[in-house]
Amino acid sequence: MWQPSQDIRGYPSVSKISQAFSAGKAFIPFITGGDPDIKTTEKLLYALYEAGADLIEIGIPFSDPIAEGPVIEAADERALRAGCTVEKLFDLVSRVRADINIPLLFMTYYNPIFVYGTSKFTKCCAESGIDGIIVPDLPFEERDELLEPCIAQGLKLISLIAPTSKDRIETIAQNSDGFIYCVSSIGVTGERHALDESARHMVAQVRLVTDIPCAVGFGISTAAQARKVAEFADGVIVGSAIVRLVGEYGQDCVAPVSQFAEEIKQAITDI
Amino acid sequence: MGKGKFGIFGGQYVPETLMSAILELEQAYMYWSANQGFTDELNDLLARYAGRPSLLYFARKMTASLGGAKIYLKREDLNHTGSHKINNVLGQALLAKKMGKCRLIAETGAGQHGVAVATAAALMDMECEVYMGQEDMERQALNVYRMELLGAKVNPVTTGTATLKDAVNATMREWAGRMTDTHYCLGSVVGPHPFPTIVRDFQAVIGREIKEQIYAVEGRLPDTIIACVGGGSNAIGSFYEFIENESVELVGCEAAGKGVDTPENAATITNGSVGVFHGMKTYFCQDEFGQIAPVYSISAGLDYPGIGPEHASLFEQKRARYAPITDTEAVAAFEYLAKTEGIIPAIESAHAVAYALKYAPMLGRDKTIVVTLSGRGDKDVAAIARYKGVSVSE
């Protein structure tokens, strides 16, 4: 079991997802765990935390990430080649948990969870200090088999909505917990030059039924885009743009990622 | 609990972005499959364009040489485009057309499904893009050119193992980015619901014909039906009509590649375990952490790490059994059928023939076996020559 302690930013020692959204717009970076290696991931977690991340998504690499674009797919390949496993990521989270006092979420495909065993997986998550799980290929209709073990361990299973969700949004939103991950555009993850207006409409639709925080992801790659999204969303998720830096700089990625993260955080502060 | 389950298998494990597309497809299929006009139109295409019914051929010489059960071959190789794939493709293309889609995308392994989709797209004035693993494009170069001749664009997939699984990944990603005008014409009984059901229904014509044809000549049900299994569409198409006829033994032949005790195989039931991937819960070749294994088979069409969820369910219920066949056995069967019956089967189908070669002598002469020849082997001739160390220039 991880022991909560006074953290390096002086926050009180509670790690709850709602806390991430309580002090302004949340900056939510994503990195692929174990890319390029576990040690660098550990440094990145500290760097992102110090750069002002309000919640961090750690990807558990999967051999066939069908919702990812080429940038994150390549990161998954690098991490798996470097020998990353879910167990090494549990260890990593346990190690950093006491110092990094913001919510940490795992994002992964359902198969690594299913094969590990949903009860065992959620138990290990809770023990290492993970706060929630995002599973892009587990839609509302199929989530019960993971939701029950999540609830048993006090983990949030984050719901996703997409521009194609339309009249599904109401049902999904009413049954969501933690926050809602709004997929900004159709297609796979990756940086986009222009973001369409879908996300704004989705957030508005959610607002009609619940006041749960809405974080928008997919395609946000610049500080200007992040700021634009933060005008209507409660949180901004940045994945591929960070992972691209990790791919580009390898073990030397901590400084450039840190700088980029600070820019994003800066851009969405005071909105 | 989600829809489209076969026991615990199947389901709809796809990203939220794709949910609307598969729900739209499910609704359209429920509507059109109950529509007499649609059924008539499809049956007309199957009869007048694809050449159905396909023959049920009594393999006299093969039967005599094996000295056991009587062997019938269900000749899906004689269909237009040379395989059973056209049965499903004509159905899905027609459905897509009714849904107002003007573009078909598809994955292909051996190229047989890709050729069938390109064909249907040409016939029905639709745009067509096929995703094919780079490695498979090299193994099946003729089929690549065939698709291009038919007006399709073939996109090489270089990620992962650059084979069928990766082609499915690429097609799913493409679909997630463009659904309004595009139908994903999935080629096997895999993927999220409703695909395993739709594809099975469109392939079930194989078994219905077998039943009628075998009654006409033998006056009774066959004892055994044998078909090769990658995703398993020709097998489920052959089996489905007989599932309730419990006296009929159903055997799926999966690709054992270089052997089930080597890492280089695609024997999903023999070596796999239950997982969730490509939208479905079923058996997969994977490691202890749920990473999908890089599978191998000489046959690009069987080189897939999963199996259709209905097969997984038939296996669990012990209603069907699944036998591994190695490359060596398949190649021997390929040559055997060519020399014995003058029929060159697809290397995929040769896996089913190989099992019959082992099994028929163990049965009495009063028994009958139906082997589904899912496709013809013209596409494999160059690869078999290479395998045998013979140099041919195409």
B2: in domain: no
Distance between A259 CA and the closest CA of chain B, angstroms: 31
User: What's the mean pLDDT in B104-109?
Assistant: 96
Write out pLDDT tens, residues B63-100: 999 999 999 999 999 999 999 999 999 999 999 999 99
Please confirm, yes or no, whether B374 is among the known catalytic residues.
Answer: yes
Three-state SS at A153: coil
Bond into A36 cis (ω within 30): yes
The domain boundary, picked from B199, B219, B244, lies at: B199
Confidence at residue A33, expressed as pLDDT on a 0 to 100 scale: 98
Residues of A with CB under 8 A from a CB of B: 62-64, 66-67, 69-70, 73, 77, 80, 85-86, 109-116, 136-142, 144, 160-166, 168, 172, 183, 186-188
ipTM exceeding the 0.90 mark: yes
Quote the minimal CA–CA distance from A62 to chain B in Å: 6
List the CATH number of the domain containing B63. Answer: 3.40.50.1100
Which of A32, A60, A62, A66 to mutate to probe the B interface, most B CBs <10 Å? A66
Report the alpha-carbon distance of residue B208 to residue B53 in Å, rounded. 10
CA angle B259, B199, B50 (to 5 degrees): 100
- List the B103-108 sheet strands across, edge first: B153-157, B127-133, B103-108, B182-184
The alpha carbon torsion through A156, A160, A161, A164 (nearest 10 deg) reads -150
**Whole-number pLDDT of residue B377:** 95
Q: Which of B304, B196, B323, B193 has the alpha carbon at shortest distance from B249?
A: B323
pLDDT at B266 over 90: yes
Same-domain check for residues B268 and B353: yes
Interface probe, candidates A73, A186, A205, A206, chain B, greatest B C-beta count within 10 A = A186
Clarify whether residues B92 and B76 are in a common domain: no
Q: Kindly state whether residues B166 and B69 are assigned to the same domain.
A: no
Using alpha carbons, list the distances in angstroms from residue B380 to A199, B138, B346, B383.
Answer: 49, 12, 7, 5
The fold of A24-158+221-268 is: TIM Barrel (3.20.20)
**Rounded distance between C-alpha atoms, residue A70 and residue A190, angstroms:** 7
Å from B393 to nearest chain A CA?
A: 36
- Ranges of residues in chain A with a pLDDT under 70 are 1-15
Out of B107, B241, B249, B254, the active site residue is B107
Check CB contact under 8 Å for B177 and A86. no
Which chain A residue is nearest to residue B5, measuring alpha carbons? A142
pLDDT tens digits along B176-188: 999 999 999 999 9
Q: Which of B143, B172, B199 is the last residue of a domain?
A: B199
Element (H, E) at A132: strand A132-134
CB-CB under 8 Å, A136 with B278: no
| pLDDT tens per residue across span A113-125 | 999 999 999 999 9
Q: What is the mean pLDDT of residues B44-53?
A: 98
* pTM passes above 0.90: yes
| Structural domain span for residue B133 | 12-46+85-199
Query: Is B3 a member of any domain?
Result: no
**Of the candidates A93, A91, A76, which has an alpha carbon nearest to the alpha carbon of residue A35?**
A76
User: Of B184, B199, B214, which closes a domain?
Assistant: B199
Of B16, B289, B291, the CB nearest to A139: B16
Contact B200, B189 (CB under 8 A): yes
| pLDDT tens figures, B216-258 | 999 999 999 999 999 999 999 999 999 999 999 999 999 999 9
Strand B56-58 and strand B70-75: pairing?
Answer: antiparallel
* Mean local confidence (pLDDT), B105-131: 96
Between B163 and B202, the higher pLDDT residue: B202
Q: Using the beta-carbon criterion (under 8 Å), do A187 and B275 form an inter-chain contact?
A: no
Total count of domains within chain B: 2
Cβ of A111 within 8 Å of Cβ of B286? The answer is yes
Q: Which residues of B touch A183 (CB under 8 A)?
A: 15-17
Q: Average pLDDT over chain A, rounded to whole? A: 93
Torsion B314-B315-B317-B319 (CA) sign: positive
